[in-house]
Amino acid sequence: MYWKNVLKSNVTTIDELQNYIDLDPKEKSLLKKVVKRHPMSITKHYLSLIDFENPDDPIRKMIIPSVNELDLTGSYDTSGEKSNTKFIGFQHKYSQTALILSTHRCASYCRFCFRKRMVGVSSREIFRNLERAKKYINHHQEINNVLVTGGDPLMLSTKVIEKFLNRFTKIEHLDFIRFGTKTPVFLPQRILEDSKLLSVLKKYSKRKQIYFVLQIDHPKEITKELQAAVKKLQLSGIILNNQTVLMKDINDKPEVLAELQNMLVKVGINPYYVFQCRPVKRVKQHFQIPLSKGYQIVEKAKTMMSGHSKRFKYVMSHRTGKIEIVGIKDEEIYFKYHQAKDIRNQGKFFKKKLIESAGWLDELR
Ligand code: SF4
């Protein structure tokens, strides 16, 4: 396939990276250490979005490894994925949703990835048994949707994607199927040059609604190629939602966050979540901003958005559930469970004493 060949030209070594940025010998050797643990891979398309004259370019920060990744503060499983795993690659945390880790590959590797423990690293946690998934879902009538994620499921061949769709669209109590993907951003060719994929999506979206949950974090990612891919997906019956990770020096200015959410609506993508950056090892220290600051940024940004643009919820994807950050008053910060792992917590409203530097629920008392 054409797109598989395009991926072969990804930049994957620090030596190659030197064709684009200057690195002194010390930095070069530290970055080699970083990518040995968490590989680098960048499509030429995504690389072309970087302004190499600007050391603070947001795309650069999201995709080029940094020596900050040597900081090990945090965890590799911040959302409790291990405890939600029913069998290899199959998770059931929220009663209505089954989640499948379909591959450990992505078209490019985000340096802030919350599944850094496995993405680009190992296929050990990857789903293998479609029959078992079918049986599990059949036994759990409360499941009304499947989220196929990874890594990035659009790295699977169209044949394998069709296999998933064929199985899941036959399960009567499933209302919809979701694919979590950043491929339209990294490698729009996967959509634009693969008419077979589009015809498969079109065929199965007539049986059940298919959603793509994109991850667009900065306005610079909304290129004309991405917009063309979005149009093709929409014409194939796909509904597009987006989640954004709120990150230091990437999108933590209210104007940038507002511009991003407004642009999403303009090109036909629904804002869905703004995620508090998780306290992931090699990520937390240089990407996470404190909850109190995050709340202020989001609220200020909302003053620049229409109702459509601010449909998202600002949440922490915590091991106990998706927790919305709803307010700060006096010395207290208020939360609400938008989705709870324990159904008894569903909708629970609670408060904690505000600690200005805290970036995650567990850091509050
Ligand atoms: S696309 Fe998603 S899964 Fe892949 S590296 Fe980026 S954040 Fe991780």
Residue 1 has pLDDT above 80, yes or no: no
Q: Which of ligand 1's atoms lies nearest the C-alpha of 182?
A: 1
If DSSP states are collapsed to H, E and C, what string results for 287-300? HCCCHHHHHHHHHH
CA angle 233, 270, 174 (to 5 degrees): 70
Cβ contact 80:93 at 8 Å: yes
Cβ contact 156:321 at 8 Å: no
In this prediction, residues 174-199 reach a mean pLDDT of 97
Cβ contact 240:246 at 8 Å: no
88 CA from centroid of ligand 1 (Å): 19
* Cβ of 116 less than 6 Å from ligand 1: no
Please state, in angstroms and rounded to a whole number, the distance separating the CA atoms of residues 97 and 340.
Answer: 12
Q: How far from each other are the two terminal CA atoms of the chain, in whole angstroms?
A: 53
13 CA from centroid of ligand 1 (Å): 19
* Cβ of 245 less than 6 Å from ligand 1: no
182 CA from centroid of ligand 1 (Å): 7
344 CA from centroid of ligand 1 (Å): 31
Interval 243-287: pLDDT, tens:
999 999 999 999 999 999 999 999 999 999 999 999 999 999 999
102 CA from centroid of ligand 1 (Å): 13
330 CA from centroid of ligand 1 (Å): 37
- Amino acid in the structure at residue 61: K
Cβ contact 169:204 at 8 Å: yes
Identify the band that residue 365 occupies on the pLDDT scale cut at 50, 70 and 90. confident
In this prediction, residues 54-81 reach a mean pLDDT of 95
- In the chain, domain spans: 2-363
Q: For residue 195, what are its two tokens?
A: 């008419």
Residue 226 has pLDDT above 90, yes or no: yes
What mean pLDDT is reported for the chain?
A: 97
- Identify the residue whose C-alpha is closest to ligand 1 atom 6: 110
Residue 167 has pLDDT above 80, yes or no: yes
Superfamily classification of domain 2-363 = Aldolase class I (3.20.20.70)
pLDDT of residue 330: 93
pLDDT of residue 2: 86
Taking the CA of residue 112 as centre, how many other CA atoms within 13 Å lie in the half-sphere pointing to its CB?
A: 25
Residue 52 has pLDDT above 90, yes or no: yes
* Cβ of 182 less than 6 Å from ligand 1: yes
Residue with tokens 């991926």: 7
* Cβ of 119 less than 6 Å from ligand 1: yes
- Identify the residue whose C-alpha is closest to ligand 1 atom 7: 113
Q: Which of ligand 1's atoms lies nearest the C-alpha of 149?
A: 3
* Cβ of 109 less than 6 Å from ligand 1: yes
Interval 207-221: pLDDT, tens:
999 999 999 999 999
Please state, in angstroms and rounded to a whole number, the distance separating the CA atoms of residues 7 and 97.
Answer: 31
Largest CA distance in the chain: 59
* Cβ of 151 less than 6 Å from ligand 1: yes
Give the number of other CB atoms < 10 A from CB of residue 122. 10
In this prediction, residues 73-92 reach a mean pLDDT of 95
* Cβ of 113 less than 6 Å from ligand 1: yes
pLDDT of residue 85: 97
Burial of 15 (0-12, 13-18, 19+ CB in 10 A): exposed
Residues 6+ apart with CB under 8 A from 209: 175, 176, 177, 237, 239
285 CA from centroid of ligand 1 (Å): 18
Q: What is the gyration radius of the CA atoms in the chain, in angstroms?
A: 20
Identify the band that residue 105 occupies on the pLDDT scale cut at 50, 70 and 90. very high
